[in-house]
Amino acid sequence: MIRKIFVIFAIAGLIMMLLPLVVNFEYKDSLNELSSQYVRGSIDDLKSQNVVTSVIVSYRGLDTLGEVTVLFLATAGVGFLLKHKKNKNSLRKASELLQTSSSFLVALIILFGIYIFVHGHLTPGGGFQGGVIIASAFLLMILSDINLKFNHLILHLVESFSGAFYVVVGLIGLLLGIGFLNINIVPLGNFGQLFSAGAIPIVYSLIGLKVGAELTAILNTMGGEQ
Amino acid sequence: MIFSLILGFILLILGISMMLTRNNLIKIVIGFSIMDTGIHLIIVSIGYIRNRTAPIIDAAVNIKDATSQVVDPIPSALVLTAIVIGLAVTAVMLSFIVEMYKKTKSLSIDDYQELKW
Amino acid sequence: MDIWTKIFYAVISVVIATIYGLALGGVVRKIYARVHGRYGPPVWQPFIDIIKTHAKRVAVSHGIMFYLGPVFRFAGGLGTYLFIPVIFGSAVFANFSMAGDLLLVMYFIFFGQLGMALGAGEGGHPYSPLGIARGLSQMTTFEVPFALSVIALAIQYHTLNITAIVAAQQGSILNWTLFTNPFAVVAAMISMLGMNMHSPFSIVLAPQEIPIGPPIEMNSSFLATLQTNRGLFVAAKLILFMNLYFGGATNLVVMIVKTFLIYMFSVFVGAAFPRFRPEQAMRFFLKWPTIIGIISIIFVAYL
Amino acid sequence: MVNPIYIIILSLITGFLLSIFDKIGRKLSMTIFYGVLSFNLFVMAIWFYRLLVVDVTPLLINTAGFVAPISINLRMGLQEAFILLFSNFIALFAAIYLFKKFKKAKISSLVLYLILSMGVNGLVMTRDLFNIFVFLEIVSISTFALITLEKNLKSLSAGFKYMLAGGVVSTFFLLGVIFVYYFSGNLNLDFINTGTFNNLGMIAVFMMSLGIFIELKPFPANGWALDVYEATDSGIVSVIAVVNSAAIFYVFYKIMPMIPNNLLQLLGYAGLLTFVLSSLMGLKQENAKRLLGYSSIGQMGLLISAVVFTTNAPEFISILIVGGFLVNHLLAKAGLFWITGIVKKEKIADWGVLNHSKPLLILFGLLLFALASLPPFPGFWAKWEFIRWLIMEKMTVVAVLVLIGSLCEIAFLFRWFNLAVKKEDLQESQIETSHSMNLPVAFLAGVLAVIPVIIMKYFYQIDLIHLAPVIALIVIFIIEIIPSKIKGILSLITLGTYGYYLYPLLSGLQLFFAVIFIIGGGIILISTFNRKGLNQNFYGLLLMMILSLGNLLIAKGYLEFFLNWEFMTISSYLLFLRGKNARNSSFVYLIFSIAGAYLLMLGFAFAPAVSSDMVLLKSITQIQLPLVSIILMSLGFLIKSGSLGVHIWVPDAYAEAEDDVTALIAGILSKVGILGFFVLAVSAISHKPDIDIFYWIGWIGVLSTIIGAFLAVFQEDMKRLLAYSSMSQIGYIVASVAMLSHLGLVTALYLSFNHLLFKGLIFLAIAGVIYRTKTRNMYEMGGLIKKMPISYISVLIGIIAVSGVPPLSGFGSKWLLYSAFIEKGWYLQSGVLFFASAVSFLYLYRLIHSVFLGQLKYEHQNVKEAPIWFILPQLIFIIALMTISTFPNLIIQPLNAIVGNYIDSSIVIDGYKVTSSLGYWNGNQVMMVTMGVFMVPLLLLLLLIGKTQKVKQFNIVFAAERPESPQTTHVAHNMYAHYKKVLGGWGKPRILSFWNGVAEWTHSLGNLFRQFYTGNGQTYILHIILYMVVLYIILGV
């Protein structure tokens, strides 16, 4: 009972604290200096159509590297926590419909995923989104065949090397003396084209592969759990 | 669009209330996810500017005058990171629950307080 | 002054004081007997006792400390006496008072008591430590009013030099401490009752429970030494009180009269009152006499 | 110069690839793993060196080819290098510590660990708010996973609670960050100006700061942290408690400029509250790791308050304070956590098992001392400066609370230490350990030991002679394998050399105390030659104590004085602890001593500065000490001298110490409080305080004498009896000093010297008796005069000197005492003193009678005289006593001259005759007369009964019957029962009850507060949210 009162008090206090932020909130009517620089820079310096991608991969590349690391940690952590132990035939088999449809959908979804991360600098999307889509394809496979076994080694290799290459790509910039995670290490190309925005597509592809592999690994570990 | 901000805050409060009141571990994690989602909504709403388009400089945007036509790209970039991190935390939390459940066969948070004082 | 002359004078002084003290003891016994309705021993009985005990053939000793106990005791009596100027203005009776002041005398009293207690302790008789424990305990309590009274004197006369204190009381009877600071005298006189260990403060020697108290194991010459000392020591104490509170003495006769009267006070009280239990006696000293002592200090220091 | 960003790059690449390498072999992956961690440490070491020595300009590392704020940048400045140096150091050594576990664990654990270490580096270096969030999450997630290195229910549920709490907290941090961005349009710390924020902006800053702040585990929003500390593997928990905490603390430090001042102050107080309460709660803690957990959150709280409250301080001071606390916490805590892993005992009561491994026990002690902020470890200097700074800033309450917290912390830490040292290990279990686990601990302790030298040399320029006590300790420790006697001789030589070194530096008062400390110490030291075998850990401590006492005399300024004061406290505590049953007694001693030291520290903090090139004993005469300073310092000195009210440590400590140590303590250590009072007195003579505080100190001294005497009367244990006697005697000295008159000071010095002689004498004699009879209870002895005549003579002379009976020097002290008191006008006091002096006869007689006189017990029929090594120093003391009794000039004249430096003499010395305004005393003549009057009856008796009849034991006049046994015949037990009756209700131990009450209440209070930690994860979230709300409300009001 006392607990409830405290909970109510806590929630009420929280609302009281946050309410001014909502009530007095006003949208900005122009970009601030920093974001204007980003928009201009994305067009002029990075030749990247998608400003958000520019921010993610280039300007705030360190964040993204961290983000990738976090995901990697989650994979490692989940793997560390859970044991791989497959318990066969304990679950109901997937329906015919799911099995059949998944068999041809998977390839399409993977293709779509690849499209998404390759075009990250041009259209909405990017490595993370693409990776998630790819993983969803594998989720579909797991759902359709619960006893499915993925080749761990390949997942592993993809995951590890894509991550490592990402860092190496960043390292190249540092070695060239133009700064860690600089995407200027390959020609920038022309604005609006697939091969533009320097190393952004490369980075995003690596991220896409990594995220796809990692999420699949997580799903695999969790799915294999009893 | 201020609606999305309000919604974000509502989700935030809702998530927290859920974490504070639900007894089931899974539900607490769901509460956490809801709270997280609320934050993500708030982040996105922050960068919004009225009557502007997404920060993608394609045909819809005049390159010369891009800065006055697009919304703030930074929150959008940040939210991506935040989502991924939220996902990672949720994944680890769930695997904790799986392991804990294996040990005690209980999903009630009240059954996990042997460490105290 | 030549040191040999000094010693010669001291010997005379000691002999006189001892004889006087012993005689006083005889008188007391007589008085007690009369109060009890008996005839009582002759006044010179103490002398006879001493000679008799000395004449014992067998002297049992329990060890060196036992042997030295009476020595300490007698040395304590001698020393105490010798550090007190007996007769104001007399070279013969000035003793060795130039070596120290009132504090020295007060602490030298302990010398004999401590030595005696040690000697008696080695005797190994359980009654000795019992008596000593009581005696020492009682001593701690009656010393309090006495000390307070001495402090009052020090405040009053701005000195702890006994000769100077006596000198300050000369001239008129009204200059006596008895009249200038009556509270101090009352406190001191009550504590003297304890010091003399007459009834009601005689539990230390309580003959029924612990036959004759600490010196129970003492025999022959050991006992005789103690008895001799008792005479000297009583005399020393009385002279000290006379000096401090009753104007001192300028000649032997005055001294004998005054000390006799002072002694009679404790004798009369002793004859009239029954004995206290140890804790009663000690509580008594810590209550009224102490308060009076404090009053005496306040009286001279702050009023 | 290696760019620090390579730490991140290398860690990430290897992190990503480590599991691939592991497929080849665990050896390879392990090599790479440790290689990277070493690389990190190496990089930070060279950067730290560079920034410290070569060029202090910080390095700014931009990423992505753009400058900040467009891109995220990292910073490598001195502070970052400092934090990361230690963090990487601990990370590497924790990994080494975990070597065996890592060898068997899944490869993911190594990966997680590597990334965790990377995250910490990034967290410290990054200057971007959102990037902080990212790195924070990296650190958190890897930590969450690593908590389950030992996968059991405890660690799982603790980890889960941690995740819930961490999740909520970081959500609020993120919310704050995003709104900060909204209001400032920037995320880079160097480009955000919160000064321009409106109220809404402040809410954002509030949430952001609280997000970080709660990660630092403030009370009561820290239950999760405690559970994690308790449940996690020792190696991992050391990383969590130390590396993570340091990094997050640094994040807090980074965002501090953004936090508005009122919030900052509030957080400072919240940190302080955490420190005090967690120390309080630790008192009730029985679980070793949870205990360290309480200590950790306390230390973090202290760090926060230190960093908040010293924002305005000069750089020199703030570096010393914050850096000192930080390093202290990092190193000591990590080492202690590792030891918990080695010992593998959950309950601190089971830690007696450490006795099986002496080196480990010593390391444990070292780390514990460091954690307790005792000198010479870094925390000591930090605390000293912190308190001074707080007082200077008029934050007295904060200073007091810090000290109270520290005291509680010391209480629970040392209860643990005492259990480890003294508790018998009943299960006879062994400690299983390996070099990979021991070495990190040892290395850490080594680093901790080196830092003080740096601080002393570079920060303070303290003369390294003040390290002599520690050096002596270490040297003797190294040569521990040689026999005890040789070590004893070496110690004597050391003392001699030290005295020779000291002599030219000393004069007056210093010289007097040097004689007491060094010569007195040397004489008593002879008695320790009786010890057999190796006798480990003894002479080092002994030397440490005596040298620190000597150093007190040449200390310049307050700090050096206090440093040696603490050395003295530590060494004496450890000496006490050596006693067989000294677990509780030494603990009480330590707590009281430390409390006293803290009072002293406060007192010094209030005092105006003194010139630093003059000895404190001299420079203090030139300044006016403020009243509060005098009061605080007097309280400290009163505790040390065991005065009334704070005397309860005295009897047990004296009684339970080893017997020769007791002599040393009573003879020498008890004078150190007196030295303290002299420091106060020489200042107060020339600068009278506004209120006559010394009058009350005088009363305390006077009451100590009487109550100490009475307490002594009722003891059965002779060492306790003598302990109370010391309390009584020291009371005389304190009262005499407090008079501040010439005669008073002379008396105090005279008494001190005398006390050394007679207490040293008696305690040594008693030590011999105990050595032979193996008991301390007086009623179990008796009649020993025949078996141990020399000891008897020693005690006899000793008690004559104590009691003040002429002709020995004791009377001189009594004469001076009463003269001084009456002259001063303290009449009632002198009445009480007289009473006390009379009461002292009771216990002195009891002592000598019960032990040496009366009936010899059967079991002591074959007891021999005490060993020569006990007798020898006794003879020296006897000779000294007799000499100054016969020729009092030898001592009175120099003392008169010493005190004459400060105040005009009021006595006349003419030959052997001393004349005061009241009376006179001729010690020589008294001696002669006494000799004379003693000889007269002796010769008489010899003449009359030259031959006595020797009789056997029991041949006594006992109502014609023989007594049964010596036990019943020997009247000794409860000897003064009748006096108890007299005292009635006055005889109750009220002060003891009072302190017991204090202890009980403190523990109950601690227990009350820790009920917050219900163990329920949900409640912990509630705490966090309520904490924010409450703080917000406080801030709004």
- What pLDDT digit, counting tens, does each position of D676-729 carry? 999 999 988 888 888 889 999 999 999 999 999 999 999 999 999 999 999 999
Asked whether A and B share 3 or more beta-carbon pairs under 8 angstroms, the answer is: yes
d(CA D469, CA D539) in angstroms, rounded, equals 11
Encoded amino acid at D868, one letter: I
d(CA D612, CA D665) in angstroms, rounded, equals 31
**Region at C131 (left for phi over 0; alpha for psi -120 to 50; beta for the rest):** alpha
- CB-based contact (8 Å) between D141 and chain B? yes
Tokens read off for C261: 């009267």
B65: closest chain A residue by CA: A40
Residues 6 or more apart from D639 whose CB is under 8 A from it? D592, D593, D595, D596, D599, D646, D673
Give the rounded distance of the alpha carbon of A168 from its chain centre.
19
Q: Is D915 exposed, middle or buried (0-12, 13-18, 19+ CB in 10 A)?
A: middle
Asked if residue D539 belongs to a domain, the reply is: yes
For the stretch D222-243, pLDDT in tens is: 889 999 999 999 999 999 999 9
Chain A interface test: which of D2, D3, D63, D1035 (most A C-beta within 10 Å): D63
Asked whether C and A share 3 or more beta-carbon pairs under 8 angstroms, the answer is: no
Sign of torsion, CA C244 C245 C251 C255?
A: negative
Across the range D635-656, mean pLDDT stands at 91
- CB-based contact (8 Å) between D948 and chain C? yes
CB contact under 8 A, A21 and D1025: no
Across the range D531-550, mean pLDDT stands at 89
CB contact under 8 A, D181 and B46: yes
DSSP line for chain C: --HHHHHHHHHHHHHHHHHHHHHHHHHHHHHHHHHHT-----TTHHHHHHHHHHT-S--EE--HHHHHHHHHHHHHHHHHHHTS--STT-STT-TTGGGB-HHHHHHHHHHHHHHHHHHHHHH--THHHHHHHHHHHHHHHHHHHHHHHHHHHHHHHS---HHHHHHHT-SSGGGSHHHH-HHHHHHHHHHHHHHHT-TTS-GGG-TTTSTTSGGGG--HHHHHHHHHHHHHHHHHHHHHHHHHHS---SSHHHHHHHHHHHHHHHHHHHHHSPPPPHHHHHHHHHHHHHHHHHHHHHHHHT-
Entry pTM: 0.93
Highest mean pLDDT among A15-29, D515-529, D963-977: D515-529
D545 neighbors D657 (Cβ within 8 angstroms): no
Contacts of D200 in chain A (CB under 8 A): 20-21, 24
Task: For residue D458, report the phi and psi dihedrals to the nearest 5 degrees.
Answer: -95, -30
C96 neighbors D925 (Cβ within 8 angstroms): yes
> What DSSP element (H or E) covers D910?
strand D908-910
For the stretch D31-56, pLDDT in tens is: 999 999 999 999 999 999 999 888 88
d(CA D731, CA D840) in angstroms, rounded, equals 13
D845 neighbors C132 (Cβ within 8 angstroms): yes
DSSP line for D42-105: HHHHHHHHIIIII--PPEEEEBTT--TTTS-EEEE-HHHHHHHHHHHHHHHHHHHHTHHHHHHS
| pLDDT exceeds cutoff 70 at D994 | yes
Q: Is C41 exposed, middle or buried (0-12, 13-18, 19+ CB in 10 A)?
A: middle
Name the minimum distance, in Å, from the CA of B69 to any CA of chain D.
18
| pLDDT exceeds cutoff 90 at A174 | no
Asked if residue D84 belongs to a domain, the reply is: no
- CB-based contact (8 Å) between D978 and chain C? yes
Chain D interface test: which of C14, C61, C62 (most D C-beta within 10 Å): C62
D957 neighbors C216 (Cβ within 8 angstroms): yes
Is residue D708 helix, strand or coil? Answer: helix
List residues bridging with D950 in a β-sheet.
Answer: C61
Across the range D401-414, mean pLDDT stands at 94
Q: Please check whether residues D487 and D423 belong to one and the same domain.
A: no
Contacting partners of chain A (3+ CB pairs under 8 A) = B, D
Give the pLDDT confidence score for residue C1 in this predicted structure.
64
Q: Please check whether residues D811 and D869 belong to one and the same domain.
A: yes
d(CA D537, CA D661) in angstroms, rounded, equals 13
| pLDDT exceeds cutoff 50 at C137 | yes
CB contact under 8 A, A25 and B2: yes
Q: Please check whether residues D466 and D455 belong to one and the same domain.
A: no
Contacts of A55 in chain D (CB under 8 A): none
Give the one of A35, A49, A54 whose C-beta lies nearest to B72's C-beta.
A35
- CB-based contact (8 Å) between B43 and chain D? yes
Residues 6 or more apart from D989 whose CB is under 8 A from it? none
Residues 6 or more apart from D265 whose CB is under 8 A from it? D308
Cis previous bond, C289, omega within 30: no
CB contact under 8 A, D20 and A157: yes
Q: Please check whether residues D659 and D686 belong to one and the same domain.
A: yes
Contacts of B33 in chain D (CB under 8 A): none
For the stretch D266-292, pLDDT in tens is: 999 999 999 999 999 999 899 999 999
Name the minimum distance, in Å, from the CA of A36 to any CA of chain D.
10
Asked if residue D665 belongs to a domain, the reply is: yes
DSSP line for D685-700: HHS--SS-HHHHHHHH
Residues 6 or more apart from A132 whose CB is under 8 A from it? A113, A211, A212, A215
Domains of chain B in start order, with CATH, are 2-111 (1.10.287.3510)
Q: What total of structural domains would you count in chain D?
A: 2
Asked if residue D113 belongs to a domain, the reply is: no
Give the pLDDT confidence score for residue C113 in this predicted structure.
85
Give the pLDDT confidence score for residue D614 in this predicted structure.
85
Q: Please check whether residues D270 and D353 belong to one and the same domain.
A: yes
- CB-based contact (8 Å) between B26 and chain A? no
| pLDDT exceeds cutoff 80 at D1037 | no
List residues bridging with D777 in a β-sheet.
Answer: D717
> What DSSP element (H or E) covers D939?
helix D923-944
Q: Considering only residues C82 and A186, tell me which one the structure prediction assigns the higher pLDDT.
A: C82
CB contact under 8 A, A160 and D145: no
Q: What is the mean pLDDT of chain D?
A: 90
Residues 6 or more apart from D635 whose CB is under 8 A from it? D596, D599, D646
Give the pLDDT confidence score for residue D1002 in this predicted structure.
93
d(CA D635, CA D869) in angstroms, rounded, equals 38
Give, as one character, the DSSP assignment of residue D516: I
CB contact under 8 A, B116 and D1014: yes
d(CA D564, CA D550) in angstroms, rounded, equals 9
Give the one of D178, D1016, D1018 whose C-beta lies nearest to B42's C-beta.
D178
Contacts of B88 in chain D (CB under 8 A): 137, 141
CB contact under 8 A, A66 and B81: yes
Q: Please check whether residues D381 and D265 belong to one and the same domain.
A: yes
d(CA C55, CA C221) in angstroms, rounded, equals 8
Contacts of B81 in chain A (CB under 8 A): 56, 63-64, 66-67
CB contact under 8 A, D796 and C118: yes
Q: Please check whether residues D430 and D494 belong to one and the same domain.
A: no
Q: Tokens 């497959």 — which residue? A: A86
**D57 CB neighbour count, 10 Å cutoff:** 10
CB contact under 8 A, B93 and D130: no
For the stretch D320-346, pLDDT in tens is: 899 999 999 989 999 999 999 888 888
Q: Tokens 């006349």 — which residue? A: D908
Across the range D611-621, mean pLDDT stands at 85
| pLDDT exceeds cutoff 80 at D427 | no
Contacts of A191 in chain B (CB under 8 A): 57
D144: closest chain A residue by CA: A77
| pLDDT exceeds cutoff 80 at D429 | no
Q: Residue D356 sits in which domain range?
A: 260-461
List residues bridging with B53 in a β-sheet.
Answer: B70
**D748 CB neighbour count, 10 Å cutoff:** 29
| Angle of helix C45-54 versus helix C3-36 axis, rounded to 10 | 110
Place C99 in a pLDDT band, splitting at 50, 70 and 90: confident
CB contact under 8 A, C144 and D963: no
Residues 6 or more apart from D564 whose CB is under 8 A from it? D466, D469, D548, D549, D551, D552, D555
d(CA C285, CA C299) in angstroms, rounded, equals 20
* Strand D59-62 with D73-76, pairing: antiparallel
List residues bridging with B70 in a β-sheet.
Answer: B53
C72: closest chain D residue by CA: D934
Place A226 in a pLDDT band, splitting at 50, 70 and 90: very low
Q: Tokens 């109270």 — which residue? A: D404
D651 neighbors D582 (Cβ within 8 angstroms): no
Contacts of D151 in chain B (CB under 8 A): 99
Give the pLDDT confidence score for residue D134 in this predicted structure.
93
Give the pLDDT confidence score for residue C7 in this predicted structure.
87
**Closest among D601, D591, D751 to D678, alpha carbons compared:** D751
D723 neighbors D763 (Cβ within 8 angstroms): no
Last residue of a domain, one of D913, D935, D957: D935
Place A145 in a pLDDT band, splitting at 50, 70 and 90: confident
Q: Please check whether residues D284 and D409 belong to one and the same domain.
A: yes
Encoded amino acid at D484, one letter: S
Q: Please check whether residues D510 and D423 belong to one and the same domain.
A: no
Give the pLDDT confidence score for residue C208 in this predicted structure.
61
Give the one of D61, D69, D131 whose C-beta lies nearest to A66's C-beta.
D131
B8: closest chain A residue by CA: A22
d(CA D893, CA C55) in angstroms, rounded, equals 51
A169 neighbors A18 (Cβ within 8 angstroms): no
Q: Please check whether residues D383 and D304 belong to one and the same domain.
A: yes
Q: Please check whether residues D675 and D573 belong to one and the same domain.
A: yes
CB contact under 8 A, D64 and A161: no
Asked if residue D792 belongs to a domain, the reply is: yes
Q: Is D493 exposed, middle or buried (0-12, 13-18, 19+ CB in 10 A)?
A: exposed
Name the minimum distance, in Å, from the CA of D529 to any CA of chain C.
31
Instruction: Calculate the alpha carbon distances from D575 to B18, C142, D529, D852, D894 in Å.
Output: 58, 42, 16, 29, 33
Instruction: Calculate the alpha carbon distances from D458 to D306, D318, D376, D649, D1014 in Å.
Output: 22, 15, 14, 38, 47
- CB-based contact (8 Å) between D915 and chain C? no
Asked if residue D116 belongs to a domain, the reply is: no
| pLDDT exceeds cutoff 50 at A41 | yes
Chain A interface test: which of B43, B56, B79, B85 (most A C-beta within 10 Å): B56
Q: Where are the alpha helices (DSSP H) in chain A?
A: 2-23, 33-44, 51-53, 61-81, 96-118, 127-144, 152-176, 200-223
Give the pLDDT confidence score for residue D690 in this predicted structure.
80
**pLDDT > 90 fraction of chain C, expressed in percent and rounded:** 24
Q: Please check whether residues D374 and D519 belong to one and the same domain.
A: no
| pLDDT exceeds cutoff 50 at B54 | yes
Give the pLDDT confidence score for residue C207 in this predicted structure.
59
Give the pLDDT confidence score for residue D91 in this predicted structure.
93
Tokens read off for A105: 């959908």
